[in-house]
Structure 1
Amino acid sequence: METHIHSEEKGTIVDSSAQVPAVDKAEGSAQADPMKVSTAKAAKGGMLRPFKQRNFNLLFSGQTVSIIGDALYMVALPWLVLTTGGNAQELGIILAAYGIPRAASILAGGWLADRLRPRKVMLIADGVRLLLMAILAALALGGHPTLWQLCAIAVPLGAFGGAFLPASMSILPDILSNEDLQAGNGVMSASVQGANLIGSAVAGAVVAIFTAGVALAIDAATFLVSALSLALMRPIQRAAAEAGQAEADQPRPTIVTQGEQVSLWRFLASSRLIQLTLLLFGLISLVSGGQIEVALPALIHGTWHSSASSYGFILAAWGAGALGGSILIGMLGNLQRKGLLTLLAGFVVSVMIALLPVWGVPGAIACMFVGGIANSVVTILFFTAVQLAIPRHLMGRVMGLLMFCNMGLYPLSVALAGVLTNQFGPALLFPFGGLLLALAFLLGLSQKAMREL
């Protein structure tokens, strides 16, 4: 699940937390030595070192609360639509109205983060989303919001959510030194998994006991907490620069020259690994968004006649599995044959998705738990291998392109899932989606560049 995400972003099988790890890997052993030194120092200091920084404590607490709010939104919105006379197709339209501007604003958000600094972009985005979510909560509490009202809120909500994403992924280097950056990313990744796990379970209970409008009002309050935590930060200067590190004194490029563009496209054209990665990310995005946010709630509500709490617990099972998988990979250390292990884990994810509707709510919980474990293996090992394969001077642009690809098909996914669910029922989408993912991972298995990662 992405968590925006943002990962925040909602409803994607590839975790946004996997996009967070520190990626200052240099091309060649001579260039990589400084990173190894920094990593060694960070390991020596432990993962609690970032908490010595006041700004990090504020960021950690604010974003953890905000992620819990995102989980409330993810459960409350489908239940609001489906219990007030709407159908799966209308839900797909609303989610597409959210997803299209979100994807379109990601690149602009990265540019704004360079121009205005990440903290300011995050603060503005949180302030606007607080207002929008409060309006949505008021509409939900006041009666039956219409389709056009929900879409009118979803469009700017998605746009500011997309702008928030790259800023949130680039703020840590501003508040932590290079030595603490990897530890800080690890803590934030664990926060995403834990908050999603707690939030999904709480969300189902809140919607079931109270109403979807109450859950949305709580989500609005979490945006306020996040905005306050950002506003309370001291003026940010890159911690490495304060320590006098020469690397931090270099100006951050904001304009790509024609030569750099040629270099980027030449790399993309010549790298079979990146081409396959883009294809895999696209297929995962196409399959997962509609399944989790359209077909799954329709299956639970319409076919199984179960409650919102069941939806919350099913999502929480994915979060629990993902958290367990992350811990497992961390305990195993640096694994060999990352590509092969990633592809095999991908097949496990595909099978779990295909089997999800077979045994009702208990079976769905079991499938999501196992799928969450396997998905952590896929995301952590795959992103690590890909990051190591990208030249340092292209790292940001290539990773940004991967992120955009991962989210770009989300609007099509939810819109298509809405139409298919309305025509054929939700259960059919899961074996079909699992088959598509299995074929994608089979394609990867046939490629030497993937197997030998």
Structure 2
Amino acid sequence: MFSSLRVRNYRLFFSGQVISNIGTWMQRIAQDWLVFTLSGNNPVALGVAVALQFIPTLLLSLWAGVLADRVDKRKLLMIIQSVNCLQAVLLGVLDLTGVAQLWHVYLLCVMLGTTSAIEVPTRQSFVAEMVGRDQVANAVALNSSIFNMARIVGPAIAGFAITWVGTGWLFIANAVSTVAVITGLALMNPAKLFRGPAVPRAKGQLAEGLRYVRGRPDLVTVMVLMFFVSTFGITYFTSLPIVAANVFHTQADGYGLLSTLVAVGTFTGALASARRGVKSQPRVRLMLVSAALLGVFEFGTAYMPTYLAFGLGLIPLGFATITFLNTANALVQTSVSPEMRGRVMGIYVLVLIGGNPIGGPMTGWMADAFGGRSPFYIGGAISAIAAVVCAVVLIRRGGVRLPRRLGNGLRILPRERV
């Protein structure tokens, strides 16, 4: 299950992420609650904050993929994390001094979104450089496991810490935790990285990446499915504070507990993905089934009558969500050429995160117009339908069979065995 941790460079990265991700989730909960408080519990304001944080992805992620193929990814990540540290400090100081206004938070959301638009495709493509192609699936799953372990610990800490000391100190704590990532990156041995061929600066590299994906119908299908699920289904994370405050009438600790219950499912799913990553390569069927189950669980959770039942319904939803995300990520990373990985991951991140400027405000609007539960049953229905449609498309391309893997040289199995 932990085979990729035998690689020293990845161990350093993994250790830094354990600490930093807890701080990141503490900040995310604190930021959402700060926006909700400053706006008078307005769900639309929360949607706007989400949109502002992810709009830069629409503008920069494709270019960031090109940049990741050209430059030293390790050094670029160190610079990005330093800027993230500064953003957290600024937000913390504004909050602690009592001068924070909604527009301050919005501006810093744009700042964080800008660095994230560059960081995510760089970090995603850097995974293969740290561990090599054979360990990518396991490393991707372990990354998700620590991310979701932090999602359990971070919101639980944040929910109670906000009640005790307010939101400001949580931003400062995140700034301190970022130092762990920077330290891990600095201690790596660059000579032990599995780097692909250097990609010199040249005109048309962005267009080359788009043509590469367009010429791969299998990749296009994955990207389309990812867009619909991430834009309409996985936006339930944004709905949690709305449900906690406006549906079940709880405080920040109630929101933190709901986030923790999601994380119980995602953490368990990530560990299961890590175990599969040691024994086998990612499969298309698993991606499609997990996307469909995500939609079904989300739709069902929307109708849970009590706070406890709703919270328990989030656990299988989190499991299906992380299984889908990990499988799609590993399928893409293991099926592309090393010299194209940064650009393909830039496109992947665009469809994964780029829909949030649409989904964020839409979630707030739906909650305001149709009730706090509506983003769950609408997003769940769209996700399940998208999974079925993409499965039909892949089956038609292969007759009555589905591909086990993406890319050239993939193996085909009879439908009943895939």
Q: Could you tell me how far 1:260 is from its partner in structure 2?
A: 10
Query: What TM-score, normalized to structure 2?
Result: 0.82
User: CA 1:220–1:380 in structure 2 vs 1: closer, same or farther (change >3 Å)?
Assistant: closer
Structure 2 residue runs of 5 or longer lacking an equivalent are: 404-418
- The residue number in structure 1 matching 2:31 is 77
Q: Take 1:99 and 1:217, find their aligned partners in 2: how far apart are those partners?
A: 22
Q: CA RMSD in A?
A: 3.3
Matched, 1:406 2:359: no
Indicate the residue corresponding to 1:49 in structure 2.
6
Change (3 A) 1:405 1:132: same
Structure 1 position 99, deviation (Å): 0.9
Match of 2:253, SS state, is helix
Q: Structure 1 residues 300 and 382 mapped into 2: Cα distance closer, same or farther (>3 Å)?
A: same
Is contact 1:176–1:239 with CA below 8 Å preserved after alignment? no
Q: Which region of structure 1 is more displaced relative to structure 2, 407-416 or 369-378? A: 369-378
Residue 325 (str. 1) matches residue 282 (str. 2): no
Alignment of 1:17-416 (within 5 A): 46-50=3-7, 53=8, 55-86=9-40, 87-143=42-98, 145-172=100-127, 185=140, 187-231=142-186, 233=187, 236-239=189-192, 251-255=197-201, 265=211, 268-269=214-215, 271=217, 273-288=218-233, 290-293=235-238, 295-329=239-273, 331=275, 338-357=283-302, 358-386=304-332, 390=336, 394-416=340-362
- CA deviation after TM superposition for structure 1 residue 202, in Å: 2.0
1:391 shift after superposition: 5.9
Q: 1:154 to 1:259 in 2, by over 3 A?
A: closer
Report % sequence identity. Answer: 23
Q: Distance in 2 between matches of 1:115 and 1:270?
A: 23
- Indicate if the aligned counterparts of 1:329 and 1:377 stay in contact, CA closer than 8 A: yes
1:151 and 1:334 map into 2 onto residues whose CA distance is 44
Identify which range, 66-75 or 115-124, moves more after superposition: 115-124
Q: 1:179 to 1:391 in 2, by over 3 A?
A: closer
Structure 1 residues 253 and 392 mapped into 2: Cα distance closer, same or farther (>3 Å)? closer
Q: Compute the displacement of 1:160 (Å).
A: 1.2
Counterpart CA distance in 1 for 2:32 and 2:104 is: 15
Q: Which moved more, 1:141-150 or 1:166-175?
A: 166-175
Q: More displaced, 420-429 or 73-82? A: 420-429
Q: Could you report, residue by residue, the CA deviation over 1:47-96 in whole angstroms, capped at 9, with x for unpaired residues?
A: 4422xx3x544322222211111111221112112223441112222221
**For the residues of structure 2 that align with 1:227 and 1:407, how far apart are their CA atoms?**
24
Conserved? CA contact 2:68–2:343, under 8 Å:
no
Whole-Å separation in 2 of the counterparts to 1:390 and 1:176: 16
Cα deviation digits, residues 349-378 of structure 1 (max 9, x gap): 112212324233322222221112223433
Q: Number of aligned pairs?
A: 396
Per-residue CA shift, 1:353-408, capped at 9, x if unaligned?
12324233322222221112223433344444455655666554334322221111
Displacement after TM superposition at 1:344 (Å): 2.9
Deviation at 1:230, TM superposition (A): 3.4
Change (3 A) 1:377 1:225: closer
Q: 1:329 to 1:258 in 2, by over 3 A?
A: closer
Q: 1:47 to 1:57 in 2, by over 3 A?
A: closer
Q: 1:127 to 1:441 in 2, by over 3 A?
A: same
Task: Work out the CA distance in 1 between the residues paired with 2:128 and 2:385.
Answer: 38
> Would you say the 8 A contact 1:122–1:168 is kept in 2?
yes
1:443 Cα deviation after fit: 0.7
Using the TM superposition, name which of 209-218 and 255-264 deviates more. 255-264
Q: TM-score, normalised by structure 1?
A: 0.76
Are the counterparts in 1 of residues 270 and 322 from structure 2 also a CA contact under 8 Å? Answer: yes
For 1:83 and 1:58, the matched residues in 2 are separated by 38
Aligned residue identity for 2:167: A
Q: Which residue of 1 aligns with 2:402?
A: 452
Deviations 1:216-255 (A, max 9, x none): 2211221233334434x26x433168xxxxxx5x741144
Q: Bigger relative contact order, structure 1 or 2, given CA contacts below 8 A and separation 6+?
A: 2
Change (3 A) 1:85 1:393: closer
Q: Distance in 2 between matches of 1:337 and 1:124?
A: 32
Give 1:310's aligned amino acid. G
Going from structure 1 to structure 2, the CA distance change for 1:212 and 1:355 (only over 3 Å counts) comes to farther
Task: State the 1:115 CA deviation.
Answer: 4.4
Question: Could you say which residue in structure 2 is the equivalent of 1:31?
Answer: none
Native 8 Å contact 1:98 1:158 kept in 2: yes
1:433 to partner: Cα distance: 1.0
> What are the equivalent positions in structure 2 for 1:412-431 lying under 5 Å apart?
412-431=358-377
